[in-house]
Structure 1
Amino acid sequence: METKLLPSETSVAPHTTWKLTTDPSVDTNQAPCNISGGLEMVSPIIQLTENGLWVHPIKVVWKFLEEVCDVGANDRCSTHVHLSLPETYSVIQMKRLAQAVIYFEGAVPLILPESRRSNHYARSNWKDNEYFKGDSRDQAMAKLEGCTTIEAVIEMMNPGKHKRYYGWNFTAFKSYGTVEFRRGAGSTNAQQVLQWITLSTTFLRASLRIATSEDFRHYPETVGGLYRFLSSVPRAQDNWKKLFDHKDFDQYQEPQKLGQLRPAEEAAFQRKFRHDSGPSLMLNAIAEYKKAQKKH
C-alpha cells in the first residue's frame, strides 16, 4: 500500500490545529510517505496558563505520534518556539530580553546538545553579530540600552544576511509580534518539547523581571547563574530543569564566532534559506491568530 501525505481540507482556523509539513532542508536516510527530506510538526497557538492545562494537548498529540510512528531526529533538526505577550512587547521589554540573551551567551550553550552550540542556523547574537564586533558583553549590553525603538533592537540583534538565523530571532516581531527561540534541539517526545517551551518562556519571563540592565549582575554569568535567573520566575513550569542535570554550575564558556561555511554547508544553507523564504505554516497560523484577536 502506498501512503502519502495529503493537504488538509479542513475549514478550521489554522491557528487552532496541529499540522505536519515537509522540510526538504533536513536530510534523512528514510523516505516515509514518499517524501524527500524530513517532516516538521507545527503546533496551534498555545496560551500558557499557571494551571498548566496547556501541557495536556501536547502530551496527547505526542502519545498519538508515538503509537503510529517511529519518531526520530538528527543533528539537522531543531525545535523553535515563537514567543509573544498578551498585549505586545514594549521597547523596555524587548531590550531586557535582548540583554538577557547577551548576558547569558556563555551559559545557555552549555545546557544544549553539542549540535546546537555552534550552529549556523542559530548563531550567537553576540559573537556572530557585526554590530557587536569586538565588543565585550558590557559594551554590547550598553549599545542595546541605548536603543530607543523596537526596530533598533531588532536590527541590532539580527543584522546582516543571516537575519533570522541567530539563536534568538527578533525579526518576526515586525509582522507577527513574536520573538523566536531557535536553539532547541530536535524533539522526539513530549518531554523534550516541554523542555524547550519552558526554557524559552521562562527565560523571557525572567528577563521581564529585570528592572535595569545593572540588575543582571545579581546573577553570575555561569550555568548556575542561569539556573538562578530562571528560578526567579514564580509558579513557572519547571520542565527546563532537566536540561541542567549533571551540569557544572560553575562553568562558563566564552562564545566563539563561527567561521565561514564549507561549500557543502553553504549549499545546504542556501536550500534552507530558499525553503524558509516560502510560505510558513507556523507564521501563517500566527497571522491568523492575530486577525482573530483583532475581531474580538
Structure 2
Amino acid sequence: MASQNAFQFGVEIELLLGSRKKAHGSWKALAKDLSKRLAKAGVANHVNEANDKSPDNYREWSIAPEVTIPSQPAKNLFGLELVSPVYPVYAYWAADLDAIFATLRASFTLTASPHCSTHVHVSRAGARGPLSATDLAALAKAALYYEPALDVLVPAGRRGTAAYWCQSNRANPALAGRGLAECLAVVDAVSGDARAVVEAVNLFPAGSAYGRAHGKLKDFVRGKVYKWDFTGMLQGGGGGARGTVEFRQAPGSLVADDAAAWVTLAVAFVVGATAVGARLGGPEVDVTGGAGPDELWALLAAGAEALGWESLGAVEGLFARRA
C-alpha cells in the first residue's frame, strides 16, 4: 500500500504563447517576460534556454523551448514548455498551477494547438528507490489493458496512430501484431527484468526513418514516441527523466483544471496500476478488448485511496466531458 510520501511527480506543460501587450522579437524575449511575471505572482522560476536536464533545473519551475511546436513569429506566437519542479504528491502543487494559469491568462494569449501536450513524470520518493521490475511490469500491463479507456478521455488526434509523439505502446516491434492477452503474456515473461520490461513496451524499429538516419542496425529503445515512456528506468537514461515513468498522451492544457486533471490521473494510475496490474492476464481477469471507462475510474479511485486523497478532483471533469 502506498503512503502519501511514497510518490512524487513532475509535469511539463507545452504552450503556443503570445503576449497581449507587446510584440516580442524572439522566443527569449517572450520567455524573459513570462519569467518576470511568474516571479511577481510568487512562482519561483528561471529561463532554461539550453533545455538543460541537470537536477538543478528541477528545483523550481523552468521555461524551456519546445521544438515540436512550430513558432509563428509573424503572429507573435512562440512554442515553449513550462517544466515543474519535483513535487511530492501531497504538496501545494495545485495552487501553483492556479497562479501560473492566472498569470498566463492575464498577460498572454494561449493558442490551442495539436502540437501541444501535457506530460507527467511519476516516480517513487525518498529512500524506497525506483519502481521495482515487478512494479514496472504491473504498470506496463495496466498501460496496455486500460489503453482503450484512456483513449476515450483524449482528443482523436492523440489516439491510435494519429499522433507521432504518443503512439500506442502496442505498436512497438516487441508487441506489434499481437492480441492483448498475448501482449500481457510477453510482459509477464520478462517481469523480473526491468530492462526487458522497458524493451517490451518502448522498442522502436531500426527500419524507421529515425532508425535509418541514426544508423541503427537493430530495433532500439526510444520511449519519447509512445503514450507511456519507461526509459527513465534504465541505468544511464534512455530518453526519459531518470527514475521516472512518463505519461505522454495528454493533450495541451489551456486552464489550470486541465493540467491538474492530467497530473491527478497519471499519479493515481501509476499507484493503482502497481497494485492491480500484476493480476491482469491471470485466469480470473477477462482481458478481452481491454478496459472500459468504469474500470479505469475504479483503478484511479484505488490509486487515490492508496495515496490518501479524498477525491480525484478535476479528473471528474475529464470523464464528464467524454461521457
The TM-score range, normalised by the shorter chain, is: 0.7 to 0.9
The reply on whether 1:165 has 2:165 as its aligned counterpart is no
- 2:15 corresponds in structure 1 to none
* Equivalent of 1:113 in 155, 158, 179: 155
Cα deviation, residue 13, structure 1: 3.8
- 2:110 corresponds in structure 1 to 71
Q: Kindly tell me: are residues 241 and 32 of structure 1, through their superposed partners in 2, closer, same or farther at Cα, counting changes over 3 Å?
A: same
- 2:16 corresponds in structure 1 to none
Q: Kindly tell me: are residues 31 and 189 of structure 1, through their superposed partners in 2, closer, same or farther at Cα, counting changes over 3 Å?
A: farther
Contact 2:174 2:199 in 1 (8 A): no
The reply on whether 1:20 has 2:63 as its aligned counterpart is yes
* Equivalent of 2:295 in 222, 225, 228: 225
- 1:212 corresponds in structure 2 to 279
Unmatched tracts of structure 2, length 5 or more: 1-21, 33-45, 49-54, 206-221
**Counterparts of 1:1-296 in structure 2 under 5 Å?**
3=24, 4=29, 5-6=31-32, 8=47, 13-29=56-72, 37-49=78-90, 53-86=92-125, 87-117=129-159, 118-126=162-170, 128-147=171-190, 148-161=192-205, 162-174=222-234, 175=237, 176-210=242-276, 212-213=279-280, 214=282, 217=285, 221-233=291-303, 234=305, 235-236=308-309, 237-238=311-312, 239-248=314-323
| Higher normalized strand content (fraction of residues) | 2
For structure 1, which segment, 194-203 or 231-240, has the greater mean C-alpha deviation from structure 2 after superposition?
Answer: 231-240
Cα deviation, residue 216, structure 1: 8.2
Cα deviation, residue 149, structure 1: 0.8
Residues 48-95 of structure 1, C-alpha deviations (whole Å, 9 max, x = no match): 11xx63321221222222222112230111011111112211011101
| Aligned amino acid, residue 69 of structure 2 | V
**Matched residues in 1 for 2:322 and 2:258: separation?**
17
1 or 2 for the larger relative contact order (CA 8 Å, sep ≥6)? 1
Cα deviation, residue 218, structure 1: 7.7
SS class of match (2:95): helix
| Aligned amino acid, residue 107 of structure 1 | A
Contact 2:47 2:64 in 1 (8 A): no
Q: Return the TM-score normalized by structure 2.
A: 0.68
Cα deviation, residue 246, structure 1: 4.8
Cα deviation, residue 29, structure 1: 4.3
- 2:6 corresponds in structure 1 to none
Q: Kindly tell me: are residues 108 and 63 of structure 1, through their superposed partners in 2, closer, same or farther at Cα, counting changes over 3 Å?
A: same
- 2:8 corresponds in structure 1 to none
Cα deviation, residue 160, structure 1: 1.4
Q: What fraction of aligned residue pairs are identical, expressed as a percent? A: 24
SS class of match (2:114): coil
Cα deviation, residue 115, structure 1: 1.9
| Aligned amino acid, residue 240 of structure 1 | V
**Matched residues in 2 for 1:31 and 1:77: separation?**
19
**Matched residues in 2 for 1:17 and 1:247: separation?**
34
Q: Kindly tell me the number of residue pairs found equivalent between the two proteins.
A: 241
Contact 1:79 1:187 in 2 (8 A): yes
